[in-house]
Amino acid sequence: MKTPKLKLGAIADDKPVRLAIEIPAALHRDLIAYAQALGRETGLSIAEPAKLIAPMLARFMATDRTFAKMRRANQAPMVGKG
């Protein structure tokens, strides 16, 4: 039986912008579990599961059709470098 692929691939090393957020404990547990699954799939250890949040948000926004239409129509606010 072939294991399905996770939606995230290897995490790029990029210059971060610091944000402080609070998430529910259940979501944090799921984030840890996802990091472990991704580590098994990619062979790379995810030392800090919080590093998954940015790629997950980027993937979410990249696949949101309504948001993409808004961006193309220049209705979404332009985001400057942080």
Could you read off the pLDDT of 10-47 as tens digits, one per residue?
Answer: 777 777 778 899 999 999 999 999 999 999 999 988 88
Containing domain of residue 51, as a range? 47-75
Residue 14 lies in a domain: no
Residue 52 lies in a domain: yes
Is the predicted pLDDT of residue 76 greater than 50, yes or no?
no
Global pTM reads: 0.67
Residue 30 lies in a domain: no
Residue 15 lies in a domain: no
CB under 8 Å to 6, separation ≥6 — which residues?
A: 34, 37, 38, 41
- Residue 5: its pLDDT value, please? 74
- Residue 17: its pLDDT value, please? 78
Q: What is the mean pLDDT of residues 37-64?
A: 90
| CA 74/CA 77 separation, integer angstroms | 8
Which of 21, 10, 15, 12 is CA-nearest to residue 50? Answer: 21
Residue 54 lies in a domain: yes
Number of domains in the chain: 1
Is the predicted pLDDT of residue 6 greater than 90, yes or no?
no
